[in-house]
A and B are shown apart, each in its own frame.
Chain A
Amino acid sequence: MNAIDFILAGMLGAATPFLLAALGELVAERAGVLNLGVEGLMAFGAVLAFIIVYHGGGHFLGFVAAGLGSAVLSLVFAVVALGFRANQVATGLAIGILGQGLSALFGKTYESLTVKGLPKLAFPWLSEIPVLGSLFIQDIVVWLSLAATLALWGMFAYTKTGLVVRAVGENPKAAHAIGYSVTSVRVFAIAFGGAMAGFAGAYAAVVYTPLWADGMIAGRGWIAIALVVFGTWLTGRIFLGACLFGAVSLMGLAAQATGLDVPSQLLSSLPYLVTIIVLGIISADRRLLKLNGVASLGEPFER
């Protein structure tokens, strides 16, 4: 298997934790909420899923527990940031620290243990295409994530729900005036974001690298938040960004496999460096951010 095959086959899997978490954060941000706790929410979901799968509960139950657990933790964020109108940056950081702490606490006795991943499913016909075919042999969660991407894109483009979420983020006062409950929409958006972060963490812990290690999320939650900016709050671009990061995180492994003489620490920090560089390039276009950004992002709503 050469490096290109390796990256093609693994890219979507590597992209999935980024994608799921970023889609969740997209919905929260579209509703005007900046939740910086994604890293901790992912870590919390990851440990719940790992514990359940390790004890024979199965992957389905693991993902359900991760989604529910992280959604509940994100509701704590909702209570503090919306109910008590606290600073969203500080609240998100607190949830992040709490989630990572709980993850380390619960995962302590599982350190370095492994579970079985999920089998790959080949997409009929497409998987037989030469060269590109390996792109279409993926596990079920990858296929579901792609479906979720399409569904979210459709929701924002065509449905009233999508419009309401966007209205609440763009102009909460107007949305409130025409009878929508800004707080309720934001609570649902936060819980959705939490659940997606939980799924993302679960995928990282029981499918992508089915081995428990403290700190295994390794900044992926933060990159997911950056992805929402890269994608300028658009579902399709966020998907492309997630694929880019999937490929970048594999490039390190591919380079090591080919025996390239580069310090492994440089390869490990590649995703972070790429984040910094892309963030600089995209943000420098101030018009683009202003045009696509969410007007009330991070601001508490008061009637």
Chain B
Amino acid sequence: MSVLPAAFLPTLVRRERASLAATLLAPPIALAVATILNLGLYVLLGRDPIAVVHAMLLEPFLSWTSFSEVLLKAAPLLLIAQGLAIGFRAKVFNIGAEGQFILGAIFASAIPVWFPQATGQWIWPLMLLLGALGGGLWASLTAFWRVRLNANEILVSLMLSLVAAQLLNYLLLGPWKDPNGFNFPQSVMFQYDAMVPILISGTRVNVSLLLTLAFSAAAWVFMQKSFTGYKLQVGGLAPRAAGYAGFNEGWAIWLSLLIGGFAAGLAGAAEVAGPLGQLQRSISTGYGYAAIIVAYLGGLHPLGIVFSALLMAVLYIGGDNAMVSANLPIAAVRVFQGSLLLAYLIAVAFVRHRLEWPRAAVRSQS
């Protein structure tokens, strides 16, 4: 019946226990495979592959300035991915972090847009807090739809992201447009006190990197050590068992989405109050979607995500470099991201499975 010559193809056989070696090797192998495939694509596009590799994967490390830009990019990716991973482990697929990020940026911008003269050290912390609330609020719509109306959270959260992008456009073309901004779709530049303080002088890296690392540590404690985190994971791995144990599914969905929205909103706030200094149309270059890849590539583990966020940030900065020096379209970064996730999903199959070739199968049966 099969269309494939099944007799010659190896089959995946479940391992007795998960392979630690495969767990640790999957991300670097996926990176290597994705790099090779994409280099092939660049050759087809008529670009010099050596120049692209140099610009994309090496240059970000070659100067302190460009590495500090990597750290700057890594912060929002890390923050969003930590929040998403908690939900993904509970099998709550919030893929609307992009929208929650945008709402966080909008909420945070409300203060400098409405009170451009305000001064005081309290402004930027309040903005970050508002941003987190905005992201959580946007995510709570998805949670309500999922828990009370039984609607699929993947579709609702994604649709809300598209709505959020339109809301941002509306504000920037309408009520929040900078009156002295030559009609550009952007808000006023924020005042000094509305900016997150710089952490490393001479760079744009700001205090939000510390917040991000603190959130990562908290995510680790929450998921690996706390009973609440344990309940969420059981809900994801064995929903029926979680039900018998009396773990409330609706509560798990609310918690997952709120944490994800909170983190994404905080990231959005830190972006406008950090490197951008104003609300713009391009506040997010797909961070919300890239963070999904970061979360998976980090094995949905708080520690792994720290590394995958750095890698993704290198790809962003390196992609910008390659655009300038090797004339590579920026869309190539998205192609790389997609193929990286696919390669990882294949590599990670070997954590729980091993390949069995047809001949070996016959021998083991006899």
- A interface list, Cβ under 8 A from B: 36, 40, 76, 80, 83-87, 89-91, 93-105, 108, 179-181, 183-184, 187, 214, 218-219, 222-223, 225-226, 229, 263, 265-266, 268-269, 272-273, 275-276, 279-281, 283-284, 286, 289, 302
**How far apart sit A138 and B334, CA to CA, in the bound complex (Å)?**
36
**How far apart sit A122 and B349, CA to CA, in the bound complex (Å)?**
53
A86 and B150 contact, CB distance less than 8 A: no
What chain A residues lie within 8 Å of B332 (beta carbons)? 101, 105
Q: How far is the CB of A179 from chain B (nearest CB, A)?
A: 6
Q: Mark B332-366, 1 if CB is under 8 A from A, else 0.
A: 11111111011001101100010000000000000
| 12 intermolecular pairs with C-beta atoms under 8 Å apart | A36-B154, A84-B12, A89-B154, A90-B341, A91-B342, A93-B289, A101-B335, A103-B331, A184-B3, A265-B170, A272-B159, A279-B155
How many residues of chain B have a CB within 8 Å of chain A?
A: 50
**How far apart sit A266 and B151, CA to CA, in the bound complex (Å)?**
23
B145 and A276 contact, CB distance less than 8 A: yes
Q: How far is the CB of B10 from chain A (nearest CB, A)?
A: 10
- B interface list, Cβ under 8 A from A: 1-4, 12, 14, 45, 93, 95, 145, 148-152, 154-156, 158-160, 162-163, 166-167, 169-170, 173-174, 289, 292-293, 296, 329, 331-339, 341-342, 345-346, 348-349, 353
Apart from A36-B154, A273-B163: 12 A-B pairs, beta carbons within 8 A: A100-B334, A102-B335, A108-B329, A222-B155, A225-B155, A265-B173, A268-B166, A276-B151, A279-B151, A279-B155, A279-B159, A283-B151
Q: How far is the CB of A39 from chain B (nearest CB, A)?
A: 9
A272 and B163 contact, CB distance less than 8 A: yes
Shortest Cβ distance from A97 into B: residue: B338
With contacts A80-B345, A97-B338, A100-B334 taken as known, whether A275 is within 8 angstroms of B3 at the C-beta atoms is no
Shortest Cβ distance from B142 into A: residue: A276
A104 and B331 contact, CB distance less than 8 A: yes
What chain B residues lie within 8 Å of A86 (beta carbons)? 345-346, 348-349
**How far apart sit A141 and B3, CA to CA, in the bound complex (Å)?**
31
What chain B residues lie within 8 Å of A103 (beta carbons)? 331
What chain B residues lie within 8 Å of A183 (beta carbons)? 2, 4
B167 and A265 contact, CB distance less than 8 A: yes
B162 and A272 contact, CB distance less than 8 A: yes
Q: How far is the CB of B303 from chain A (nearest CB, A)?
A: 20
Shortest Cβ distance from B339 into A: residue: A98
With contacts A97-B338, A229-B155, A289-B150 taken as known, whether A179 is within 8 angstroms of B349 at the C-beta atoms is no
What chain B residues lie within 8 Å of A225 (beta carbons)? 155
A95 and B342 contact, CB distance less than 8 A: yes
**How far apart sit A289 and B151, CA to CA, in the bound complex (Å)?**
10
**How far apart sit A104 and B338, CA to CA, in the bound complex (Å)?**
13
**How far apart sit A89 and B331, CA to CA, in the bound complex (Å)?**
23
**How far apart sit A95 and B142, CA to CA, in the bound complex (Å)?**
24
**How far apart sit A247 and B226, CA to CA, in the bound complex (Å)?**
50
A98 and B342 contact, CB distance less than 8 A: yes
Pick the contact of A94 from B3, B145, B155, B341 — CB < 8 Å? B341
Pick the contact of B158 from A76, A95, A222, A284 — CB < 8 Å? A222
**How far apart sit A94 and B345, CA to CA, in the bound complex (Å)?**
9
With contacts A93-B292, A181-B3, A280-B149 taken as known, whether A98 is within 8 angstroms of B335 at the C-beta atoms is yes
B293 and A97 contact, CB distance less than 8 A: yes
What chain A residues lie within 8 Å of B341 (beta carbons)? 90, 93-94, 97
With contacts A93-B292, A183-B2 taken as known, whether A105 is within 8 angstroms of B335 at the C-beta atoms is yes
Q: How far is the CB of A86 from chain B (nearest CB, A)?
A: 4
Q: How far is the CB of A285 from chain B (nearest CB, A)?
A: 8
A266 and B166 contact, CB distance less than 8 A: yes
B158 and A90 contact, CB distance less than 8 A: no
